[in-house]
Structure 1
């Protein structure tokens, strides 16, 4: 199934050589602020790549695919798309994305998420795809809406980062809904 290709992007598994590129964006506080965890150390980026470089068996709740998003003409990842199998029986899959801010505003997240969402339905057999995001994350809200996802929930002050409360949106789309948009 990998790599996926779009007009401008190649989406595939991370390799051990991608550690510095992942660390370049995962270490940034402005990236981590919406990810429910602190910024990565270089060691944490290396550990994540070691865990995900071979894909996933995609059979149990919690199995995940962390995919590198690369510009078609460049080997360096500019971000990532994450798919997590939430419920194998009900075929519920969570999608998320993280991109280096210097590549923001160019449509890469929407383009990559659209390709991966289609693959999740077509190849991985997902019935429903959903995204959870901090309500302050306007860029991710726009990506969800461009994908045709509907806002299904607004969870008020459901997370605490040790300093402050934050709220969360849940967006979702069904396989037949995405197919109808194409």
Structure 2
């Protein structure tokens, strides 16, 4: 069992086969705006379609989210396509609880890059961070029931659906159902 209370300060970039995961930089604004401004990208994520100034404001907050120092914080990493140097999305890890060693996974990807296994590649790297470096016992992910693509991705990551919460969140003007997925550290190790 890995114990941790010191947080997570990864060495960047975190390299996968095709991606570099790293903290955001101010130079990411154009790439970030390219997907934060798309209705089809933000349809199932907590933020609205953003204009350039709203994207700039969001980016300023992301600039300091490259490490986890205490529970309740989100690690927010740019997904950079190494071949082009383009930021094509974001992958997130929340440190929910020190005592219970719980975390939460999140991601958003530009529609032009979906369906190529890139979100899975980024999410696998973040699961590895959560289990191997942060010492988490369990990582969950929550998605809107209608977001079938994300639900399939979570299943491909080895996460099982643990719950279906009915009309539990008022989201973008309506009550929605959410699906809760999770994987434990021992299950993750067995699947690898």
* TM-score over 0.5 (shorter chain): yes
Aligned to 1:160: 170
**Pairing 1:38-117 to 2, within 5 Å after superposition:** 38-56=48-66, 58-117=68-127
Is the Cα contact below 8 Å between 2:35 and 2:111 reproduced in 1?
A: yes
**Pairing 1:103-182 to 2, within 5 Å after superposition:** 103-161=113-171, 163-182=173-192
Aligned to 2:6: none
- Equivalenced residue count is 182
Deviates more, 1:140-149 or 1:24-33: 24-33
Flag structure 1 segments of 5+ consecutive residues without an equivalent: none
Deviates more, 1:107-116 or 1:57-66: 57-66
Per the TM alignment, residue 162 of structure 1 is displaced from its structure 2 partner at its CA by: 5.5
The verdict on how the C-alpha distance between 1:41 and 1:86 changes in structure 2, with shifts beyond 3 A counting, is: farther
Aligned to 2:45: 35
CA distance in 2, matches of 1:112, 1:56: 15
What TM-score, normalized to structure 2? 0.88
Is the Cα contact below 8 Å between 1:56 and 1:63 reproduced in 2?
A: no
Deviates more, 1:97-106 or 1:53-62: 53-62
Flag structure 2 segments of 5+ consecutive residues without an equivalent: 1-9
Deviates more, 1:143-152 or 1:80-89: 80-89
**What does the per-residue CA deviation read over 1:62-121, in whole Å, with 9 as the maximum and x for residues that have no partner?**
211110111122221001101111122212111100000011110101111011111111
**What does the per-residue CA deviation read over 1:123-164, in whole Å, with 9 as the maximum and x for residues that have no partner?**
122211110100100111111001100101100111223543
